[in-house]
Amino acid sequence: MGDSTKQGLGSSGLSRRGFIAGTSSILGVAALGGRAGAAVRTAVPATAPIGDGARVPALVIGTGYGGSVAALRLAQAGVNVHMVEMGMAWDTPGPDGKIFANTTNPDARSYWLRTKTKQPLSNFLGFPIDRSIPRHTGILDAEEFSGITVYQGRGVGGGSLVNGGMAVTPKRENFAAILPSVNADEMYGTYYPRANAALGVATIDPAWFDTADCYQYARVGRKHAQRSGFPFVFVPTVYDWDYMKREAAGTVPKSALAGEILYGNNHGKKSLQKTYLAQIRATGKVTISPLHRVTSVSPAAGGGYTVAIDQLDTSGATTATKTVTADRVFFAAGSVGTSKLLVKLKATGALPGLNGEIGKGWGDNGNVMCGRANHLWDPTGSLQASIPTGGIDNWAAGGAFAEVAPLPTGIETYASFYLSITKNPHRAEFSWNAAAGRADLNWQASWKQPSIDMAKTIFDKINKKEGTIYRTDLFGTYKIWGDHLTYHPLGGAVLNKATDNYGRLHGHPGLYVIDGALIPGNTSVNPFVSITALAERNIEKIIATDL
Ligand code: FAE
């Protein structure tokens, strides 16, 4: 698979790369790794708070994958774009010289408006590991709905700031089940290659994998998978593998090898800040308002849309309320953010033309976590790279793909840890709760059971073969399954249902959905490459026909 950097992103100069099949994702755990060095300011596009009363040709809500694709391609087509992002810019080092906090030492930067951390692995050896932190507009939002906690990135770069960088193109045979109305030939011939190139996707050098101390945990995972007859596949990522080799050699500041991940990577990971957003900056046609949250969109008297925006300070308080007008509005606030906005705007009559599919088709991508306790002769290593590189594929036979994830505690744990993506059939719906003034999601905790059953098709067999047991100390006391969360929210404004086949919202010309809300609940793999590729497909059509 290709190497990491150098992706031409000019509108006509996209390198066409072979699509990458495989699978996986990331974990989340407190680490005790080494110290990262000083970070440099990143080159995100110009940030300037939008003025009250401004008029813009195109307004993009959110700066994650969908929003970045839309803004870049619109700018390259000559359109001035304003991006509105509720999170911070993440372009300036803190007092410790680093932009992002380490997982070992969560601080104010780590969580979105919480006074206590909410780590995905809440316990270790049965003991709770969450701790008090100052309330701040930090980078990771653990948003709680009934029955599920949905983790999301907050800031310029969206989920790319906090995710594990697993960059996976679904197998083509699974694609029709995901998005049946989309031409797979076009996706696999043009848009997946375009997305992979622009994101800088690359796979680990297998020879290095076989020898690197920091991937002993993954080699143990491979050995156990293969001894039970399961295929182990390498997973492409957006980590700069040359950089990781230099981390291992001790010649550069450590990031993946210092356990950096959930609260941002100071080095090595090619977040959107280093890819799409850097390209956006080069166009000079895009401005971003960080710490601005869109609260309403409604038809404007003279055409276009009136967009209401709250400006926030870093305590989360509203310091100004602005009203701007946009000819076109792109909803790219993520599956949850876009769905919450749209159900409110439909229910309150702000956008009366939206159809009955708004808020529907939401799923958790079948996420479920677990750990296994290995024998003393199977150590997984005290140094573990925070970027997963491979997984166990039992999708066709058992409905599960299990990423072999790190547990970078800095000590030998003899534990193998996994995040499984499963074929969970349950779909939830967002609805507007007028009395409470918020959007609710009707997910039920028991809906994770099919995911557990599918994950067990892999791990029961491995445990039997290896004579091992599940860990019961990572998600509580005597609790095997991490079944309370998702990293991969998808759906809520599904393509070809709430929108037309290119993301145009029904009933309101000039309004578009261009993020994970379009994908109906599951991608069979980690979602961001699919979100990016679908956005590339849709924005190309929208620019060609609507502008
Ligand atoms: P997203 O990236 O979430 O961007 C939405 C943006 O909109 C955010 O920056 C929000 O702050 C902002 N926003 C929301 N509401 C508003 C509003 N009202 N006004 C203004 N701004 C707003 O959306 N995926 C993978 O493929 N591989 C992985 O390894 C992986 N690991 C993950 C690990 C973690 C811990 C998490 C949380 C996610 C992971 N994901 C992974 C999921 C991936 O990051 C996610 O699918 C994408 O980021 C979703 O992209 P969107 O463009 O839909």
What's the pLDDT tens digit per position in 99-141? 999 998 999 999 999 999 999 999 888 889 999 999 999 999 9
Residues β-bridged to residue 504: 512
Q: Is the CB of 491 under 6 A from ligand 1?
A: no
Q: What is the pLDDT of residue 125?
A: 81
How much distance in Å is there from the Cα of 161 to the middle of ligand 1? 8
Q: What is the pLDDT of residue 42?
A: 54
- Say how far apart CA 362 and CA 428 lie, in whole Å: 5
Q: Are 241 and 212 in contact, with CB atoms under 8 Å apart?
A: no
Residues recognised as catalytic: 403, 488
Q: What is the pLDDT of residue 10?
A: 27
How much distance in Å is there from the Cα of 158 to the middle of ligand 1? 5
Pocket test for ligand 1, best of 20, 26, 47, 178 (most atoms within 8 A of CB): 26
Q: Are 129 and 115 in contact, with CB atoms under 8 Å apart?
A: no
Q: Is the CB of 334 under 6 A from ligand 1?
A: yes
- Say how far apart CA 478 and CA 124 lie, in whole Å: 11
Q: Give the sign of the dihedral formed by CA 480, CA 486, CA 487, CA 488.
A: positive
- Say how far apart CA 194 and CA 188 lie, in whole Å: 9
Q: Is the CB of 488 under 6 A from ligand 1?
A: yes
Q: What is the pLDDT of residue 26?
A: 30
Q: Is the CB of 294 under 6 A from ligand 1?
A: yes
- Say how far apart CA 452 and CA 252 lie, in whole Å: 40
Among protein residues, the one with the nearest Cα to ligand 1's atom 9 is 158
Strands 415-422 and 400-405: antiparallel
How much distance in Å is there from the Cα of 142 to the middle of ligand 1? 12
- Say how far apart CA 36 and CA 253 lie, in whole Å: 5
Q: What is the pLDDT of residue 126?
A: 80
What are the distances in angstroms from CA 505 to CA 46, 109, 179, 511, 542? 29, 35, 17, 6, 12
Which atom of ligand 1 is least distant from the CA of 155?
9
Q: Is the CB of 4 under 6 A from ligand 1?
A: no
User: Tokens 């906690």 correspond to what residue?
Assistant: 149
- Say how far apart CA 289 and CA 429 lie, in whole Å: 30
Q: Is the CB of 264 under 6 A from ligand 1?
A: no
- Say how far apart CA 5 and CA 8 lie, in whole Å: 9
How much distance in Å is there from the Cα of 504 to the middle of ligand 1? 21
- Please give the sequence-ordered ranges of beta strands (E in DSSP) within 205-333, or none if there are none: 232-234, 286-289, 292-299, 305-312, 318-331
Classified as helix, coil or strand, 55 is strand
Which atom of ligand 1 is least distant from the CA of 293?
19
Which atom of ligand 1 is least distant from the CA of 62?
7
Q: Is the CB of 485 under 6 A from ligand 1?
A: no
Backbone torsion region of residue 301, taken as left when φ is above 0, otherwise alpha when ψ lies between -120 and 50, otherwise beta = alpha
- Say how far apart CA 463 and CA 291 lie, in whole Å: 47
Which atom of ligand 1 is least distant from the CA of 337?
15
Classified as helix, coil or strand, 304 is coil
Nearest residue to 335 (alpha-carbon basis) of 498, 182, 513: 513
Pocket test for ligand 1, best of 65, 72, 192 (most atoms within 8 A of CB): 65
Q: Is the CB of 239 under 6 A from ligand 1?
A: no
Q: Is the CB of 333 under 6 A from ligand 1?
A: yes
Name the DSSP class of 417: E
Q: What is the pLDDT of residue 43?
A: 56
Within 10 Å of residue 328's Cβ, how many Cβ atoms? Answer: 22
* Residues 6 or more apart whose Cβ sits within 8 Å of residue 211: none
* Residues 6 or more apart whose Cβ sits within 8 Å of residue 262: 28, 103, 110, 119, 120, 140, 162
CATH assignment of 3-546, among 2.120.10.30, 3.50.50.60, 1.10.10.10, 2.40.160.10: 3.50.50.60
- Say how far apart CA 91 and CA 111 lie, in whole Å: 17
Pocket test for ligand 1, best of 23, 24, 25 (most atoms within 8 A of CB): 25
Within 10 Å of residue 124's Cβ, how many Cβ atoms? Answer: 18
Q: Is the CB of 526 under 6 A from ligand 1?
A: yes
Alpha helices in 287-361 (DSSP H): 334-347
- Say how far apart CA 394 and CA 372 lie, in whole Å: 18
- Say how far apart CA 332 and CA 314 lie, in whole Å: 22
Name the DSSP class of 145: E
How much distance in Å is there from the Cα of 303 to the middle of ligand 1? 31
- Say how far apart CA 306 and CA 325 lie, in whole Å: 5
How much distance in Å is there from the Cα of 435 to the middle of ligand 1? 28
Q: How many helices (H) and strands (E) does the chain have?
A: 12, 20
Q: What is the pTM of this model?
A: 0.93
Name the DSSP class of 102: -
Q: Are 160 and 69 in contact, with CB atoms under 8 Å apart?
A: no
Which atom of ligand 1 is least distant from the CA of 333?
7
Structure tokens at 343: 């159900």
What are the distances in angstroms from CA 293 to CA 35, 113, 484, 531? 34, 14, 27, 22
Q: What is the pLDDT of residue 217?
A: 98
Q: What is the pLDDT of residue 39?
A: 42
Q: Is the CB of 196 under 6 A from ligand 1?
A: no
Q: Is the CB of 154 under 6 A from ligand 1?
A: yes
Between helices 192-199 and 528-546, what is the axis angle to 10°? 110
Which atom of ligand 1 is least distant from the CA of 527?
26
- Say how far apart CA 536 and CA 187 lie, in whole Å: 9
Pocket test for ligand 1, best of 487, 514, 515, 518 (most atoms within 8 A of CB): 487
Among protein residues, the one with the nearest Cα to ligand 1's atom 33 is 163
Nearest residue to 290 (alpha-carbon basis) of 61, 532, 43, 531: 61
Within 10 Å of residue 515's Cβ, how many Cβ atoms? Answer: 36
Q: Is the CB of 158 under 6 A from ligand 1?
A: yes
Q: What is the pLDDT of residue 31?
A: 31
Low-confidence residues of the chain: pLDDT under 50: 1-41
Classified as helix, coil or strand, 69 is helix
What are the distances in angstroms from CA 306 to CA 43, 95, 457? 30, 39, 51
Residues β-bridged to residue 311: 292, 320
Pocket test for ligand 1, best of 528, 530, 534 (most atoms within 8 A of CB): 528
Nearest residue to 536 (alpha-carbon basis) of 158, 193, 202: 193
Which atom of ligand 1 is least distant from the CA of 517?
53
Q: Is the CB of 271 under 6 A from ligand 1?
A: no
How much distance in Å is there from the Cα of 531 to the middle of ligand 1? 10
Rounded to 5 degrees, φ, ψ at 202 are -150, 155
